[in-house]
Structure 1
Amino acid sequence: MFVRRIAVIGTGYVGLTTGACLASLGHDVVCADVDADKVARLTRGEVDILEPGLAELVAEGIAAGRLTFVLGAAAAVRHAENGPEVMFLCVPTPMGVGGVADLSIVESVVEEVRDLLPTGCVVVNKSTVPVGTAARTEELLVRDDVAVVSNPEFLREGSAVYDFLNPDRIVVGGSKQDAAERVAALYSRLGAPTVLTDAPSAELVKYAANCFLAMKLSYVNAVAELCDRLGANITDVTEGMGYDKRIGQAFLQPGPGWGGSCLPKDTSAMLQLADAADFEFRLIRATIDTNTRQRQRMVEKVRLAVTGRRGGSLSHTRLALFGLTFKAGTDDLRDSPALAVAALLRQAGADLVGYDPALRPDARHPDLAGITIVDDPYLAAKDAEALIVLTEWPEFRGLDWARLAESVRKPIVVDTRNLLDPAVARRVGFEWIGIGKP
């Protein structure tokens, strides 16, 4: 394999994982960020992101001299004597006004480096971007000697390193075949199926995949509600579905709704793409509406469990929230369904105390307002009218549930993830309430 000189702009989940993993594959990588303190910490091998295996890869890359961190995109381009052969754009593309992706950071970086890039360099859009972004990047570059390709990431938070090094597929799209092949060759040691296509198709792959997963989650949550009404068991229903190879077992677990940094943003962006093409994508709209309803349903479950009525008052009711991150294995709070449910409970007048293994009591995030964060699950449970499991942290199963039963005012647990063993909870006196369970 040829060793390539690579610049990675952005050191978030995608950028840092991309840089560290490419360095582990033998490439020379320089990563850039605009946060000077973050660059200094990364240079010392200090990784702030909770991502298994990432800190070790960063340390190995630094020790081997294959991974370097600099301040600013321009510095990354100037770092190597002859400049980078490939430059990955891994900067944020947040949801903007009306749900459309905000590309201002992408455009700013391109304008900063366009006159610095060496002839023959390939600019890679790694961030999730709307269809047409590669063409827009080419327009901003005004460089016929620099190619642009789309190479979407398919990384799950909490398993990003594993996903990068064990990909289901590599997708690369661009108008210049040789440039696309050069980018695909960076991953040759991974032995994954490779899809070489045009840039618009590559850009659409990521949105299409994430929207399909969101639809699958909304579907199973709707089926779980039907199970509640009919007395069926969602676990048995999804097991029976999952053995069908056309469906599979993944993304068939009901919960309080889907969230995170990708699915909400990408479903909204897909609607924008469809609207721009004069196409009414009713499936995606229904998927989003079902997700919104699921969060309301969780609040109804809590009301019914605590007051005996779906519309009962939760005013000044102390509730213990177990789990606040959008899923287990990460400290990411962006668009967390747990926090969305918490906001609705707070609007209903409940007093909220939260515990999450990934959060400290001094954690700061706008959506944590109104929640008292503690670092002890038993302290969170003290005098609570109910425990609400909102994130599927495995360690919740291993808690001393007899001790929790003694701490709460009412032994009620609303398990929005069907995480716990109902028999264990009931054995120590808890009333266990799940989703889609008789």
Structure 2
Amino acid sequence: MNIAVIGTGYVGLTSGVCFAELGNSVVCVDIDEKKIDRINKGLMPIYEPGLEELVSSNKSQNRLFFTTDFKVAVHNADIIIIAVGTPSLEDGDVDVSYVESAAKEIAKYINNYKVIVNKSTVPVGTGELVKNIIKNTGGEQTHFDVASVPEFLREGTAVKDFFNSERIVIGTDSERAKSLLMELHSPLNTFIHTTDIRSAELIKYAANSFLAMKISFINEIANLAETLGGDINDIAIGIGSDSRIGKKFLSAGIGFGGACFPKDTKGLIKMAEKAGHDFKIIQEVVNVNSNQYKKMIEKLNLEIDNIGQSSIAILGLSFKPNTDDIREAPSIKLISDLLTLYPGVKIRVYDPIAMSAVRNSIGEKVVYSENIEQAVTNCDAALIVTEWNEIIEFGLKSYKNLLKQPVIIDGRNCFDLVNAYNLGITYHSIGRKPVIAERQEVF
């Protein structure tokens, strides 16, 4: 099939490249000339394992093209996928202005039957919005259908997720569109759920908000476990072994970040508010998450008397491993709080991929280290924020040997408590009681 993908962010770029890998002819279009030029030169705008290689191979086989020419992209397409950004507004509502702009561009150049797919995460009713924009902006003479096919790609494993998806959701009221979209996704050999457009739009928000709820729930249990003397890892195994609950998204830590969960939980709350429904449970998910990263500062205060005169290493800056995305990352909030609360504190940071993004975000307020060793040497404490393999594999012995005093605040529960204790490391994690030697009475 001939496919046009509007938008070359995480969703658009990954989807376009992977559809090309399935044998389709794909044109990815974006208004950002510099971005398109860089992609055509082989420079990826995002870090995503496997993506660069697929772009190169599919371009060489003339199945994948990048352009700023909407007319070329729209004219030749059987299916047009809208995959533009839908950022949060200040009040938590979803900004669909980029979707509206994409619909207007489609309306200018639509020349025959097309299936127009909303793949961006959009509020319920956006399908009708796109349909009306195209009809009212010159596209009324051409027959077309609008559908919703929400994406379920995880940053850091997006390519893998595309080819190993657990399900595809197709929302449309047109049998013709349904048939084309079923054919497009059939090589993925996975369960395809078909429904109406509004249900498909809500499925995406419901799925992400439910997963966010699991994260906030296990973090609340972790906080309680610390108080009561339980171990969150054992608790997670105990409840996750129940098939009704499942093991995934039960890793306690310092909260979720990224482009999806924060935006989608707030978006669902706003949608509910507009519909007259007070979505209290999701509001509490957001509330819990907004405070969870502060646990690291609380634990740091237990060990460092004067943080304002100390040097702190922060390891891991992206919101999760295998991505350079720092949107809503706990690291950025943590750095901001430390600098505000403790004037004079010296912060060294390290991340395998996200250093440039952080520098662009916060400038020279911190020291950017070339490696872990440089970041932690002679620091008063190391704070582990993102569980990159490199940070874990560096090993507890190395941390102890390089730190001025062996204090580690681990926000991702990367290391064994007993090993840390045996090495003489003051080690705090999330939801796990530190190993403390039993006191012996001296008579």
Range of TM-score over shorter length: over 0.9
Aligned to 2:299: 301
Q: 1:426 aligns with which of 421, 428, 435?
A: 421
1:19 matched to 2:12? The reply is no
* Secondary structure at the counterpart of residue 109 of structure 2: coil
Aligned to 1:348: 341
Corresponding pairs, count: 426
Q: Which amino acid aligns with 2:383?
A: I
* Secondary structure at the counterpart of residue 189 of structure 1: helix
Q: 2:40 aligns with which of 27, 31, 43?
A: 43
1:316 matched to 2:316? The reply is no
The question of whether the paired residues in 2 share the 8 Å contact of 1:362 and 1:373 is answered with no
CA deviation vs aligned residue, 1:317-353 (integer Å, no higher than 9, x gap): 2110011100011111111022222222222213211
CA deviation vs aligned residue, 1:35-54 (integer Å, no higher than 9, x gap): 22321232233324221111
1:8 matched to 2:5? The reply is yes
Aligned to 2:89: 96
Runs of 4+ in 1 over 6 A off after TM superposition: none
d(CA) in 2 for partners of 1:183, 1:44 = 31
Q: 2:73 aligns with which of 73, 76, 80?
A: 76
State the TM-score, normalizing by the size of structure 2: 0.92
- Following superposition of structure 1 onto structure 2, how do residues 11-410 of structure 1 map, counting pairs within 5 Å? 11-78=8-75, 83-142=76-135, 143=139, 145-307=143-305, 313-349=306-342, 350-360=345-355, 364-367=359-362, 370-410=365-405
**1:34 CA drift (Å):** 1.9
d(CA) in 1 for partners of 2:226, 2:183 = 50
**1:422 CA drift (Å):** 3.1
CA deviation vs aligned residue, 1:267-291 (integer Å, no higher than 9, x gap): 1100111001100000001111111
**1:191 CA drift (Å):** 1.2
State the TM-score, normalizing by the size of structure 1: 0.93
Q: CA RMSD in A?
A: 1.6
**1:365 CA drift (Å):** 2.9
The question of whether the paired residues in 2 share the 8 Å contact of 1:218 and 1:290 is answered with yes
The question of whether the paired residues in 1 share the 8 Å contact of 2:32 and 2:68 is answered with yes
The question of whether the paired residues in 1 share the 8 Å contact of 2:323 and 2:354 is answered with no
d(CA) in 1 for partners of 2:287, 2:363 = 24
* Secondary structure at the counterpart of residue 353 of structure 1: strand
d(CA) in 2 for partners of 1:348, 1:216 = 31
Q: Which amino acid aligns with 2:81?
A: F
d(CA) in 2 for partners of 1:266, 1:125 = 16
The question of whether the paired residues in 1 share the 8 Å contact of 2:258 and 2:329 is answered with yes
1:412 matched to 2:407? The reply is yes
Residue range with higher mean Cα deviation, 298-307 or 85-94:
298-307
- Equivalent pairs: percent with the same residue? 38
The question of whether the paired residues in 2 share the 8 Å contact of 1:387 and 1:414 is answered with yes
**1:379 CA drift (Å):** 1.4
